[in-house]
Amino acid sequence: RSLGIGPQDRAAIFAPNSPNWTFADAACQFAGIIDVPIYTTLAPASIAYILNDSAAKLLFVGDVEMYQGIADILKECPAVERIVFFEGNGISEVDNALTFADLLKLGGELGLSHPNEINEIVSGLAPESVATLIYTSGTTGEPKGVMLSHANIVSNVIDAGEHYDFSQHDVCLSVLPLSHIFERSAMYLYIFNGISVYYAESIERVPDNLAEVRPTILVGVPRIFEKVYAKAKLKAAQSAGVKEKIFDWAIEIAKEYSEKLETDSSVGFGLRLKHKLADRLVFSKLREFFGGNLRTCITGGAALSNDIYLIFNGAGIPIMQGYGLTETSPVISSNNSKIKRLSSAGKPIRNMHVRIASDGEIEATGAGVMLGYYNKPEATRDAFTDDGWFRTGDIGEIDADGFLKITDRKKELFKTSGGKYIAPSPIEQMIRSSRFVSQVVLVGNERKFPAALIVPNFEMLASYAKHKGLAIKSSAEFCSSKKIIDLIERQVAGLTDALAKYEKVKRVALLENELSVAGGELTPTLKVKRRVVDEKYKTVIDKIYTDAENEKPAG
């Protein structure tokens, strides 16, 4: 307010997670200002698009180094009037800049001279007014600004947490970016329940921070749990011999034990005894990685594989999977300790309703559904059915007990040249369960058969090569080695054996470099941008099918 920013003006936040991020967000909400979070991993051109589309007057920036990365594009953003730095060192050379401390001082002075102004603004806020404008990272097309109201967000926080026993004794570590509504909504949940919040210093420091904080609650995407398991598996494989066999045995015990609990089956004395031994030898170390105090993990943003779910739950690290989108504030459905089911995204939360359209698309309505897309009336109309239900773009089904299961993204289904539709995500999950696979993307639209682009787990391959006496060292050598390609193909064939013939992966191509946000292949929430992958690896994909075409049948 002290800078002349008023209700319904826009203020963008471009910074990593920190207490100041949360303070700036809260200040905007109370002042009736619409805040616009921006992912720190976005390209400068995308940042310029968001600043111009939202017409943000104020920009919060993490520090001078971050500012320097976008200084050139800010010249093309005339609406930005002032810049506030969370970390203020070296800002003297920046025009119209001030530190967060300066801003607090100015605000304090305004509060003394106009003591009733903020109270009047707060009391004048309508629940239906826009609280935030969140630009979807999107796997296709340009970003769209999702308008969420105060009522959208508050109702979702309260309803999503209905069946969780949160208390002021809980401790959490904030890991996911606050620019994503999933983490931001979780932050509101922590504050609402009086939970202690710690902010991870960086992704690289998360393991150290977990040990320091010893959280009781962790909100994360499936990739976090996949990486933890892969790291534990690698450590066991490098030990070789008895330790690796013990680890593999314990993992099978975890899955068997968890499946019994999931189906309310009796856990016999023998399995209980094995589980107790496995806990002492393996599971306790897995729990200790997370600090040893975790009682609830909440995951969303992508599908969690059944194997990872069963392993962690069986090891005493309960993971509750939910489902939602930015457009739904975000939670539509969620499992919880009281109501849960394997392979599902739980039941719709209170005040959210779900139905399945004739083509299998999940449609939702309720208190959390967005107001619409900013400056995009046509896109807003397209996002809703004639009777007002939001089209999620996901394919799914609801079982007899009301649990929602997500099958795939509607736009990601592809059709082979033989006319068969294939849902890539379930097949990718199967393949990713191989210890030798880090990432996988299924391709094959309008082709004769599906193929897979695979980023191997190079550390696991190195351990395998050493065990087999193979003189392979570099990533490039692994990706071109016939023996390694044959190993991966056998892994893929074994893991996808139950698929229909037209769904089976006929060829694989190994990629040297991990798909990443920085490389443009992943969204900031780690979803694959399939269009980008198709374009970036077109030569590799074309070669897969050309080589298959040129191969002469035996005999």
Quick: pLDDT tens for 176-225.
Answer: 999 999 999 999 999 999 999 999 998 889 999 999 999 999 999 898 89
- pLDDT surpassing 60 at residue 422: yes
The reported pLDDT for the residue numbered 318 is 95
**Which pLDDT value is given to residue 124?**
87
Angle at 402 between CA 398 and CA 407, to 5 degrees: 25
Residue 280 DSSP label: I
**Looking at residue 172, what is its pLDDT?**
97
Token match 């990593």: residue? 16
Amino acid at 382: D
Which band of pLDDT confidence, cut at 50, 70 and 90, is reported for residue 137?
low
Single out the residue of 107, 147, 151, 158 nearest to residue 125, CA to CA: 151
pLDDT band at 43 (very low <50, low <70, confident <90, very high): confident
Task: Give the pLDDT confidence score for residue 480 in this predicted structure.
Answer: 95
Q: Strand pairing partners for 12?
A: 36, 59
> Residue 554: its pLDDT value, please?
47
Give pTM, 2 decimals. 0.88
If one compares 555 and 500, the residue with the highest pLDDT of the two is 500
Q: What is the pLDDT at residue 138?
A: 56
Res 473: pLDDT: 85
Hey, is 163 helix, strand or coil? coil
pLDDT at 553: 53
For the residues 33-42, what does the mean pLDDT come to? 95
Mean pLDDT estimate for the chain? 93
Tell me the pLDDT tens digit for each residue of 427-444.
999 999 999 999 999 999
Question: What pLDDT is attached to residue 91?
Answer: 86
CA torsion sign for 438, 318, 430, 470 is positive
State pLDDT tens for residues 85-117. 999 887 888 889 999 999 999 999 999 999 888
More confident residue, 347 or 520: 347
Give percent above pLDDT 70 in the chain.
Answer: 98
**237-296, pLDDT tens digit by residue?**
888 789 999 999 999 999 999 999 988 888 999 999 999 999 999 999 999 999 999 999
Buried b (16+ CB within 10 A) or exposed e, 459-494: bbbbbbbeeeebebeebeebbebeebbebbbebbee
Q: What is the mean pLDDT of residues 378-401?
A: 96
Q: Distance between CA atoms of 341 and 345, rounded to whole angstroms?
A: 8
Question: For residue 317, what are its two tokens?
Answer: 């690290």
DSSP 11: E
Which residues does 544 contact at the CB level (< 8 Å), separation at least 6?
A: 443, 451, 507, 509
Cis status of the peptide bond prior to 37, with omega within 30 of 0: no
Predicted pLDDT at 292: 96
User: What pLDDT sits at residue 89?
Assistant: 81
Q: What is the pLDDT of residue 526?
A: 81
